[in-house]
């Protein structure tokens, strides 16, 4: 009975889509209208009963009561009830009105949160805030930095991928006090001034710019808008006469810094001409070995984290840790015990000897290329890539996937593409028919893999991205 009601009145489904799309009305409606008859998703990331969801449900209920009363007043009880049923059949109307109503309230809530959080931060005598901005790598750098710095200082970090004003504000309100030395937080960016607002809210003292790429290009419209937003962290710290730590292996960061003439105002990492960089990187089944060069001194380091992308993250964290007073000897020792980051090049050796590398948390062009580089560097005969492609690439979608398909063709034994979309079609076009296998559902991965007849003990399978239900 419950399923029948949900099929007729898909309120919960549509609310779930709105949540996945961060309550962006245009993007949510685009999904709804293109999946008009769909009443079920795989529910990979279930609807989270946040305060916002509860308020939307409450406003929707008030609207239904209002519609019913208007119908009774204008016509009669039966027509009032009919009006309610008609709205429930297309419940996105209720959600849209609720979201817009809530947005008006949220503006006031956000302003109040910024004011209260800033007041609390400034009341502390010793807490210093480290902000991390970038298109990718924020969570990994945050977790690695926390591991390095907590060896000497008392540190608090935002949990999971908390990177919005309300998320950071909640952590400050509930957990942060003057007993901490440092507070590390991610600064998420989806539009202009996002990073600046959070910098001002928590009064950032130190900053790391991890890199810029085409992630969220559909939202930012062009790459320069993304660059400008991430450089809001640099601009904020420059006004305080403080330097930002930045990834100079990222072409956009380096070009922007050069164009602005501010190279001397940045502490670079992953820069062969800088103080800290890595070379002689070797991928292992369980981790990575590399030479960590610090002021010309070479240290051979082994870390449980896999891939050059994680080495880049490590370099950013090492540079910041050293800047705030953690001895290099301590940093090198701590790198051997850095915790793995779930679903970010996380390795698992299966019972049959197959090596599974899970990079399904999210994907961008750099992450995709890194997955291919890892496969290419592993000493395994069979190299399998599994991916549904990347999202939010805007007009660059086909071009980027086509280029990545050509790159994958020369490295992988087989490429398993999940779903039939413009993303996977462009990848397939670049790869060619001989190496491509289409799969409808990620749940069929092992059935598909074993159907290839490859020896598991000589195979490595990497999962590059796992899209939520709205994709």
The yes-or-no verdict on residue 146 having pLDDT over 60 is yes
- pLDDT score recorded for residue 218: 62
What is the 3 state secondary structure string of 395-453?
HHHHHHHHHHHHHHHCCCCEEEEECCCHHHHHHHHHHCHHHEEEECCHHHHHHHHHCCC
User: Above 80 in pLDDT, residue 39?
Assistant: no
Q: How many CA atoms lie within 13 A of 233 on its CB side?
A: 33
pTM more than 0.85: no
Where b means 16+ CB within 10 Å and e means fewer, 419-453 reads bebebbbbbbebbeeebbeebeebeebeebbeeee
pLDDT band of 143, cuts 50, 70, 90: very high
Say yes or no: 156 and 207 in one domain.
yes
Helices 422-431, 397-409: axis angle to 10 degrees equals: 40
The per-residue pLDDT for range 370-417, each reduced to its tens digit, is 889 889 888 889 999 999 888 777 778 888 899 999 999 999 999 999
Strand partners of residue 347:
357
Share of the chain above pLDDT 90, in %: 44
Give 283-320 pLDDT, tens digit per residue: 887 789 999 998 888 999 999 998 888 899 999 999 99
Range in 77-81, 103-107, 180-184 the model is least confident about: 77-81
| Percent of the chain whose pLDDT exceeds 70 | 94
Residues 302 and 158 in one domain: yes
Helix axes 308-323, 328-335, angle to 10 degrees: 150
Beta bridge partners of 302: 289
> Both 283 and 302 in a single domain?
yes
**Integer Rg of the chain from CA:** 24
pLDDT of 43 reads 59
More confident call, 156 vs 3: 156
For residue 341, tell me if it sits in a domain: no
- Residue 318 confidence (pLDDT): 96
Residue 328 falls inside a structural domain: yes
What's the pLDDT at 216? 57
**pLDDT of 7 above 70:** no
149 contact partners, CB below 8 Å, separation of at least 6: 155, 182, 184, 321, 324, 326
65 within a domain of the structure (yes/no): yes
Q: Rounded to an integer, what distance in angstroms lies between the CA atom of residue 22 and that of residue 297? A: 47
Number of domains in the chain: 3
- Which residues are within 8 A (CB) of 365 and not within 5 positions of it... i.e. 6 or more apart? 213, 214, 215, 390, 400, 404
- pLDDT given at position 3: 65
DSSP helix/strand/coil, 299: strand
pLDDT tens digits for range 175-209 = 999 999 999 999 988 778 889 999 999 999 999 99
Supply the range of the domain harboring residue 55: 2-106
Per-residue pLDDT, 42:
62
CATH of the domain at 376: 3.90.190.20
Hey, which residues does 156 pair with through a beta bridge? 183
Write the pLDDT tens digit of every residue in 249-295. Answer: 999 999 999 999 999 999 999 988 888 889 999 888 778 999 999 88
- Is residue 91's pLDDT more than 50? yes
- Domain finish residue from 47, 71, 106: 106
Is residue 111 situated within a structural domain? no
Same domain as 54, residue 169: no
Separation in Å, CA 439 to CA 169, 247, 409: 42, 37, 18
Query: Rounded to 10 degrees, what is the CA torsion of 318, 322, 326, 327?
Result: 100
Residue 119 lies in a domain: no
Rounded distance, CA 338 to CA 279, Å? Answer: 19
Residue 230 inside a domain? The answer is yes
Number of H helices, E strands in the chain: 19, 15
Note whether 359 and 329 are same-domain residues.
Answer: no
89 in the same domain as 151: no
Question: 425 with 301, same domain?
Answer: no
CATH number at 165 reads 3.40.1190.10
Structural domain ending residue among the three candidates 315, 335, 355: 335
Q: In this model, does residue 467 exceed pLDDT 50?
A: no
Does residue 360 carry a pLDDT above 90?
no
Residues 171 and 317 in one domain: yes
As a whole number of angstroms, the distance between CA 374 and CA 390 comes to 18
Average pLDDT, the chain: 86
Please indicate, yes or no, whether residues 186 and 320 belong to a single structural domain of this protein: yes
* pLDDT value of residue 217: 59
> Are 394 and 351 in a shared domain?
yes
Residue pLDDT, tens place only, 403-460: 999 999 999 999 999 888 888 899 999 998 889 999 888 788 889 999 999 999 999 9
281/412 same-domain check: no
| Same domain, yes or no: 200 and 265 | yes
Confidence band for 470, pLDDT divided at 50, 70 and 90:
very low
pLDDT digit string, tens, across residues 365-383: 888 888 898 898 888 899 9
User: What local confidence, expressed as pLDDT, does residue 129 receive?
Assistant: 96
According to DSSP, the residues that pair with 438 across neighbouring strands are: 417
Please identify, among 72, 106, 140, the residue that sits at the C-terminal boundary of a domain. Answer: 106
Domain assignment of residue 131, yes or no = yes
Q: Does residue 118 form part of some domain?
A: no
Classify residue 307 by its DSSP letter.
S
């Amino acid at each position: 009975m419950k399923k029948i009601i949900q099929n007729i009145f898909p309120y919960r489904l549509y609310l779930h889509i709105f949540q996945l799309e961060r309550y962006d009305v245009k993007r949510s409606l685009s999904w709804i209208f293109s999946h008009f008859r769909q009443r079920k998703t795989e529910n990979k990331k279930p609807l989270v009963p946040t305060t916002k969801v509860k308020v939307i449900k409450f406003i929707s209920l008030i609207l239904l009561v209002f519609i019913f009363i208007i119908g009774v007043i204008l016509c009669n009880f039966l027509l009032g009830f009919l009006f309610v049923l008609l709205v429930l059949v297309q419940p996105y109307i209720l959600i849209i009105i609720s979201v817009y109503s809530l947005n008006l309230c949220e503006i006031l809530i956000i302003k109040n949160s910024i004011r209260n959080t800033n007041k609390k931060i400034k009341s502390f005598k010793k807490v210093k805030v480290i902000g991390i901005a970038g298109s990718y790598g924020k969570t990994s750098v945050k977790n690695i930095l926390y591991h390095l710095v907590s060896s000497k200082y008392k540190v608090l970090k935002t949990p999971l991928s908390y990177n919005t004003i309300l998320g950071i504000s909640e952590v400050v309100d509930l957990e942060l006090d003057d007993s901490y030395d440092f507070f590390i937080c991610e600064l998420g960016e989806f539009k202009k001034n996002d990073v600046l607002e959070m910098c001002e809210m928590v009064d950032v003292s130190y900053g790391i710019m991890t890199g810029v790429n085409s992630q969220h290009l559909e939202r930012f419209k062009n790459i320069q808008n993304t660059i400008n937003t991430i450089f809001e962290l640099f601009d904020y710290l420059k006004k305080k006469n403080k330097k930002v730590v930045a990834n100079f292996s990222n072409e956009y960061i380096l070009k922007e810094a050069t164009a602005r003439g501010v190279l001397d105002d940045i502490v670079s990492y992953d820069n062969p001409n800088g103080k800290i960089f890595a070379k002689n990187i070797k991928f292992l089944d369980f981790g990575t070995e590399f030479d960590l060069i610090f002021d010309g001194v070479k240290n051979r380091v082994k870390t449980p984290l896999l891939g050059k992308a994680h080495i880049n993250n490590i370099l950013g964290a090492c540079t910041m840790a050293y800047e705030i007073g953690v001895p290099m000897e301590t940093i090198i020792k701590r790198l051997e015990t850095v915790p793995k980051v779930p679903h970010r090049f996380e390795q698992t050796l299966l019972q049959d000897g197959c090596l599974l590398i899970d990079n399904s948390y999210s994907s961008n062009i750099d992450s995709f290329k890194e997955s291919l580089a890892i496969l290419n560097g592993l000493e395994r005969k069979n190299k399998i890539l599994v991916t549904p492609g990347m999202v939010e690439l805007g007009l660059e979608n086909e071009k980027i996937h086509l280029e990545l398909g050509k790159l994958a063709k020369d490295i992988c034994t087989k490429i398993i593409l999940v779903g039939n979309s413009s993303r996977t079609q462009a990848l397939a076009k670049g790869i060619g028919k001989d190496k491509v296998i289409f799969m409808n559902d990620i749940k069929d991965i092992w059935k598909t893999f074993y159907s290839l007849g490859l020896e598991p003990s000589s195979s490595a399978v990497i999962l590059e991205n796992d899209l939520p239900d709205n994709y």
